[in-house]
Amino acid sequence: MKPIHTIKDIAAEARIIRGRMIAACFGVLLLAGLLVLRMIQLQVVEYEHFSTLSEDNRVKIVALAPTRGLIYDRNGVQLAQNTPTFTLEVVPENVEDMDALLLELGELVEITSEDIERFRRMLKKKRRFQSVPLRHRLKEEEVARFSVNRHRFPGVDVQARLTRSYPLGASAVHLIGYVASMNEEDLQRVDAARYRGTTHIGKTGVEQAYESVLHGKPGIQRVETNAQGRILRVLERTDPVPGSNITLTIDASLQAVAERALGLENGAVVAVDPATGGVLAFASTPVYDPNPFVDGIDSKTYRALLASPERPLFNRALNGQYPPGSTVKPFVGLAGLELEAVTVDHEIFCPGYFRLPGRERRYRDWKKWGHGKVDVTRSIVESCDVYYYTLARELGIGRLHDYLSLFGFGRRTGLVLQGESAGLMPSAEWKRKAKGQAWFPGETLITGIGQGFMLATPLQLAMAAATLSTRGVRLRPQVVLRRDDPATQETVELVPETLETIAPRLEANWQTIINAMTDVVHGPRGTARRIGVGATYRIAGKTGTAQLFGIAQNEEYDAEKVDKKLRDHALFIAFAPVDNPRIALAVLVENGGGGSKVAAPIARKMMDHYFQQVLDTADEQLILTATELPAAANP
């Protein structure tokens, strides 16, 4: 057993502790040296590496979306503009309780259930730190009310940005189209570099067709961001290049006249300048407001548009394919003359029906008791069906198909708008291919009066009328009058593009047809003589009534008894002034009934407006033709 207290050797103990302390000093120096070496390694040896990483951390490249080009009508009326709007946006990661937030915000700013639905949909697609729009187009007082209460809502902010808007609303929507948020498909299709920072893209109409012109070039901004990606400072900036402004060939007021004239009817009006192919009016009714599409249309409204029996989203002018009915007669008549199937004064007796030799079936004329003796002029003026049954049979479907195709029937006109329909110019070959059936002689007859398989779009009809007016110069329809690039100050003007020229065999044949069409409006027996009354210029036109269902041999067609949906389509094609054509147009009213009663007056309204309001009234040539009007104008 050792004693509890041994004798301490104080000096020896002090020596031990001092010795250990000296060792500790070396240990401390060694470890401190290790730290210093590490610091030299990080801050001197690897400085470049970490400096680059640090720079990468803080500097991000942000694309600046270019300002989209504006769209004007030919007189400078804005059709599509960029309006500064205020959007209420939410950064999800800064919000603790989203439901409570929406509820509270709802007390300050009107938030509909559609807004919330759309917001939640976008919430899923975006990253947590990305701003998601909740309410578009805040009113000024809403912005003010929110600003005062902003401190209560971390993560919520009002963003000012340029939003596409269409000041005329629904007018010309089928031509102008609209922009909407880019979807997955768009993102894959476009050049990602050009669309950095851009959220919207042209979806339909001119907005879609001229996307590359309107879009512009994005700018680049090198910004300093913090760890959350919030931009703190702009280090360098290359401004975006705005897109070109586009001036359309259409006249907004003429467009409005067309749409008002169509009224509640479903239909289409296409008016073109025959000299240039420039489209003056491009109406399809019913119209719809494109503005909601820009912000992301709510599904209820969209479903309603889709489900509407009137089909407002359907572009009737471009995609509506209708039997052209009697409007095809001037072309068939011209074919007869030019292909020497008939002569100008050759007469056919019309008893009110036509019968193929050896067949029982009667092909009826619209005039039950017949037109009597009819030459080509009278056949157009009075729209005699029997004359065209006879002529069609004479020509045969092959020649009929080939000649009418020259006017663009059955072929796309080449308008830039996406998805143009080609219509249908039937032939024996086509029928064999499409239906696997032989062509029947009766089908040639009804093709001669624009019935049967034949289909044409209102745009095709307008272009065919224009081709007639220019004596065979077939132009591509165009919608852009001028493109102004604000960056380079360059202007690209419309250059008329001749697709092909139909060389007249005999100029007089064309004159005969045009004269006959003039008599349709101005002659005492013309089917559209009512619209010739009081006209200060001369119109060449042709009415058409397209039957939608066959009437039994001995039955009478009575519009009153027929369901509206099955009632005839009313058509009218025209150009004016006859000697110096400035406008050619086609009018179609679905289930409108007779072309003379329904479609022709719309054309007259358009022309009156065009000559009196749009064109310079001092235009000598117009007045000249107006004063030389024949007395026949008043039957």
Partner 1 sequence: MSQLQPLWTPHKALTPTLNAMYDQRTLAQRLHMDIPLLLGLLLLSGIGLAVLYSADGQDTSILIRQGIRLAIAFTAMFVLAQVPPRHLSFWTPWLYAIGIVLLIAVLAFGDVAQGAQRWIRIGPLNFQPSEMLKITVPMMVAYYLGARTLPPTFMRLLVAGIMVVVPTLLIARQPDLGTALLIACSGAFVLFLGGISLRLIAACAILASASAPVMWYLMHGYQRQRVLTFLDPEQDPLGAGYHIIQSKIAIGSGGTYGKGWLNGTQSQLDFLPERSTDFIFAVFSEEFGLSGVLTLIAIYLAVVFRGLYIASQAQDSYTRLLAGSLVLTFFVYIFVNIGMVSGILPVVGLPLPLLSYGGTSLVTVMAAFGILMSVHTHRRLISE
Residues forming the site for partner 1 (CB under 8 A) = 6-10, 12-14, 16-18, 20-21, 24-25, 28-29, 31-32, 34-36, 38-40, 42-44, 46-47, 49-51, 53-55, 57-58, 224-228, 232
Which is it for the CA torsion 524, 528, 530, 532, positive or negative? negative
Please state the closest distance from residue 93 (CB atom) to partner 1, in A.
13
Tokens, residue 310: 């009137």
Q: Which residue lies nearer to partner 1 by CB, 42 or 508?
A: 42
Q: Which residue lies nearer to partner 1 by CB, 54 or 491?
A: 54
Angle at 135 between CA 134 and CA 136, to 5 degrees: 125
Q: Which residue lies nearer to partner 1 by CB, 47 or 349?
A: 47
Q: What is the C-alpha end-to-end distance of the chain, expressed in Å?
A: 151
- Within 197-324, residue ranges assigned H as helices are 205-209, 211-215, 252-262, 291-294, 299-307, 316-319
Q: Which residue lies nearer to partner 1 by CB, 6 or 554?
A: 6
Q: Is 421 a catalytic site residue?
A: no
Please state the closest distance from residue 31 (CB atom) to partner 1, in A.
5
Q: Which residue lies nearer to partner 1 by CB, 17 or 160?
A: 17
Query: Beta strands 245-248 and 71-72: pairing type?
Result: parallel
Element (H, E) at 444: helix 441-448
Element (H, E) at 157: strand 156-165
Element (H, E) at 481: strand 480-485
Please state the closest distance from residue 66 (CB atom) to partner 1, in A.
29
Please state the closest distance from residue 478 (CB atom) to partner 1, in A.
53
Tokens, residue 595: 């072309």
Please state the closest distance from residue 141 (CB atom) to partner 1, in A.
35
Conformational region of residue 149, where left means phi above 0, alpha means psi within -120 to 50, and beta covers everything else: alpha
Residue found under tokens 């029996």: 309
CA distance 545 to 596: 8
What does each C-alpha distance from 77 to 74, 80, 503 come to in angstroms? 7, 9, 39
Q: Which residue lies nearer to partner 1 by CB, 21 or 434?
A: 21
Tokens, residue 329: 């007669």
Catalytic residue among 171, 244, 326, 427: 326
User: Which distant-in-sequence residues (6+ apart) come within 8 Å of 49 by Cβ?
Assistant: none
Query: Helix, strand, coil % (nearest 5) of the chain?
Result: 40, 20, 40
Conformational region of residue 296, where left means phi above 0, alpha means psi within -120 to 50, and beta covers everything else: left
Q: Which residue lies nearer to partner 1 by CB, 17 or 566?
A: 17
Q: Which residue lies nearer to partner 1 by CB, 55 or 110?
A: 55
Best CA proximity match to 163, nearest among 132, 199, 128, 189: 199
Please state the closest distance from residue 126 (CB atom) to partner 1, in A.
19
Please state the closest distance from residue 485 (CB atom) to partner 1, in A.
39
CA distance 183 to 461: 36
Other C-beta atoms closer than 10 Å to the C-beta of 378 total 21
What single DSSP character describes residue 505? Answer: S
What single DSSP character describes residue 553? Answer: T
Q: Which residue lies nearer to partner 1 by CB, 10 or 192?
A: 10
Q: Which residue lies nearer to partner 1 by CB, 54 or 308?
A: 54
Identity (one letter) of the amino acid at 106? G
Please state the closest distance from residue 223 (CB atom) to partner 1, in A.
11
Please state the closest distance from residue 41 (CB atom) to partner 1, in A.
9
Please state the closest distance from residue 54 (CB atom) to partner 1, in A.
4
Other C-beta atoms closer than 10 Å to the C-beta of 387 total 31
Contact 302, 333 (CB under 8 A): no
Q: Which residue lies nearer to partner 1 by CB, 225 or 418?
A: 225
Angle at 82 between CA 81 and CA 85, to 5 degrees: 135
- Within 47-171, residue ranges assigned H as helices are 47-58, 98-108, 113-125, 140-149
Please state the closest distance from residue 18 (CB atom) to partner 1, in A.
6
User: Which distant-in-sequence residues (6+ apart) come within 8 Å of 613 by Cβ?
Assistant: 253
Best CA proximity match to 276, nearest among 492, 496, 498: 496
What does each C-alpha distance from 211 to 93, 243, 288 come to in angstroms? 35, 9, 21
Query: Beta strands 219-225 and 59-64: pairing type?
Result: antiparallel
Just list the catalytic residues.
326
